[in-house]
Structures are given as structure tokens and as C-alpha cells.
């Protein structure tokens, strides 16, 4: 197997091992014993695969390739979720923060006016 693929697969296994550990902790906090056990089993499986991938003369089984396929899906979904979060943050800046800060910069000429306008713009909305 090419070293680049071996390195990629090693990182995939490690990423899912880490994500499974995070799910275990989440389930533990939510008192979800079954979920925690499932996540722990998954973590242990990927920890074994990670260790194997870091060894010499790696030969994977069909089952291990299937685990890597699942890992790739998990990692892709995780990256997509993070991208969605980043896009949401960008939109928040573009729609809310930047226009408001621009108003302060464009509509005021001194600190007192800037402070007054900032108070008006950034006040907490009461329902």
C-alpha cells in the first residue's frame, strides 16, 4: 500500500477513535448508558485499527476496509458540519456585525458619538 494512503487511513482511524471518545463523554453526561457503550465499542475498534495501521507490513482485511469506509463517511460528515457552522458565523458577521460596525465608523466623527451610536446599535433587545 502506498505510504500516503497508509498515512491517510491511519489518520482516519485516529479521527474516528477521537470522535467516538467525544461521543462517549457526551453520552456519559446525558446518562445514556447504551449510547456510551456503543461509542466505547466503536472507539476500541478504531483504536485497534489505528494501532495496526501504525505497524509494519500492514495487510488489511475486508472488514477493516469497511471500517475505513465508515470512518471516511464519519469524517466527511464532521467536516461538513464544521463548514456549515463556519458559514453560519460568516453570515452573522456579514449580516449583523460588519454593517453595525461600519455604521459607527461611517456615521460618527468622535468617541462620544461613536459610543452613543454603539449603545443604540448594540443594546439588548427586550421582548
Q: Look at residue 127 and tell me if it is in a domain.
A: no
Find all residues with CB under 8 Å of 13, minimum gap 6, and list them: 46, 49, 50, 53, 67, 68, 71
Flag whether 26 is in a domain.
yes
Question: Is 64 inside a domain boundary?
Answer: yes
In a domain, 105, yes or no: yes
Distance CA 35, CA 15 (A): 19
- pLDDT grade for 123, boundaries at 50, 70 and 90: confident
Range of the domain at 29: 3-121
Separation CA 76–CA 65 (nearest Å): 16
- How many structural domains are present in the chain? 1
Give domain status of residue 7, yes or no. Answer: yes
Query: Within a domain: residue 83?
Result: yes
Q: Across the chain, how many H-helices and E-strands are there?
A: 5, 0
Per-residue pLDDT tens digits for 28-80: 999 999 999 999 999 999 999 999 999 999 999 999 999 999 999 999 999 99
In a domain, 16, yes or no: yes
pTM equals 0.76
Residue 97: how many other CB atoms lie within 10 Å: 12
Amino acid at each position: 500500500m502506498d505510504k500516503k494512503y497508509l498515512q491517510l487511513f491511519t489518520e482516519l482511524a485516529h479521527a474516528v477513535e477521537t470522535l467516538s471518545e467525544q461521543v462517549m463523554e457526551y453520552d456519559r453526561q446525558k446518562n445514556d448508558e447504551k449510547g456510551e457503550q456503543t461509542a466505547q465499542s466503536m472507539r476500541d475498534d478504531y483504536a485497534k485499527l489505528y494501532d495496526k495501521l501504525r505497524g509494519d507490513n500492514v495487510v488489511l482485511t475486508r472488514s477493516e476496509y469497511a471500517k475505513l469506509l465508515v470512518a471516511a463517511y464519519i469524517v466527511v460528515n464532521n467536516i461538513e458540519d464544521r463548514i456549515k457552522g463556519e458559514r453560519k458565523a460568516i453570515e452573522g458577521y456579514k449580516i449583523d456585525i460588519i454593517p453595525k460596525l461600519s455604521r459607527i465608523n461611517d456615521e460618527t466623527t468622535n468617541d462620544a458619538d461613536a459610543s452613543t451610536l454603539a449603545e443604540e446599535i448594540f443594546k439588548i433587545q427586550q421582548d
